[in-house]
Amino acid sequence: MKKVIVVLTLIIIMISFIFPTGINSRFAVGNEYYENGEYQKALEVYLEIAENTGSWKLFYNIGNSYFKTGDIVRSKINYLKAERLNPFDKSIEQNLRIIDGLLDNRVNLPESDFLTKTLIRFESFLTINVLSVLILIILFIFSFFTFKLVRSGRSKIYIYGILISFILLLFFSFYHIHRVNNFYNNKYAVIVAPNSQLRSGPGEENTILFEINPGVTIRIIDEHRDWVQITASTEIAGWIERENIEKISLQ
């Protein structure tokens, strides 16, 4: 019983390092401002929280606040951030449809295939924070079996425990690194500047193909200095100045 209490205590301590304290109270303050119709104040509180951490509910509320203050494009950006963290939430999907209905020159990216959707569902359940806690638990199990082997002598149970936990630790650690890289090196963005010009190459000397309106979701193909090569469909592709887009980044 004592060992169980010790293990639970260690897990709680580990989790406390991953999830910062005090955020819930600030989030409640922002919600109170929003419910009272003070949308700009609510937005300021939410953005302050977003400097240190992020969750789909936080980005969703930021999107709501931007919408209420009239910034439709930034509202869409934050709904897309929320969608990355909770990709199958109906309220996010509905709000994005409303936003796209208000924006001109809307372009929808191709639908994901079945395998991609399945992977997204899996990753939305096994979040990076959950992965971090899981790695710490496996590390504790590995340390426990190692300690028992050193103290009690050679035993198949301890050797197998060390081997299995070590393999799991390696697998989830590499998977964690992969998820973090994908999480922050996002290749999607939204056009934020009005009358953004799409050119045939990276530079003002290249031919203007056409103009693209704010709010269009695009995928980044390549980057060259102050220019980004983008695509939004088979008909829309070219180079645009970096300052005209905002990446759907969670940091």
The rounded distance, in Å, linking the Cα atoms of 136 and 207 is 54
Topology of domain 188-247 in CATH is SH3 type barrels. (2.30.30)
CA dist list (Å): 220 to 132, 213, 239: 29, 17, 10
Q: Which two tokens stand for residue 63?
A: 């999107």
CA dist 51 and 42 (Å) reads: 15
pLDDT of amino acid 19:
46
Angle at 181 between CA 180 and CA 187, to 5 degrees: 120
Q: Which residues contact 164 (CB under 8 A, 6 or more apart)?
A: none
Bin 36: left if φ > 0, else alpha if -120 < ψ < 50, else beta: alpha
- Reduced to 3 states, what is the DSSP secondary structure of residue 246? strand
- Regarding the domain delimited by 2-102, which CATH topology (the fold level of the hierarchy) does it fall under? 1.25.40
Question: What is the chain's pLDDT, residue by residue, as a tens digit (251 residues)?
Answer: 455 455 445 555 554 544 455 678 888 999 999 999 999 999 999 999 988 877 889 999 999 999 999 999 999 999 998 988 888 889 999 999 999 888 865 555 556 566 766 776 677 677 777 888 899 999 999 999 998 888 887 788 888 999 999 999 999 999 888 877 766 666 889 999 988 889 999 999 999 988 888 998 888 888 888 999 998 776 678 999 999 999 887 65
Contact between 142 and 166 (Cβ < 8 Å): yes
Every domain of the chain and the residues it spans = 2-102, 126-184, 188-247
Give the H or E element holding residue 208: strand 208-212
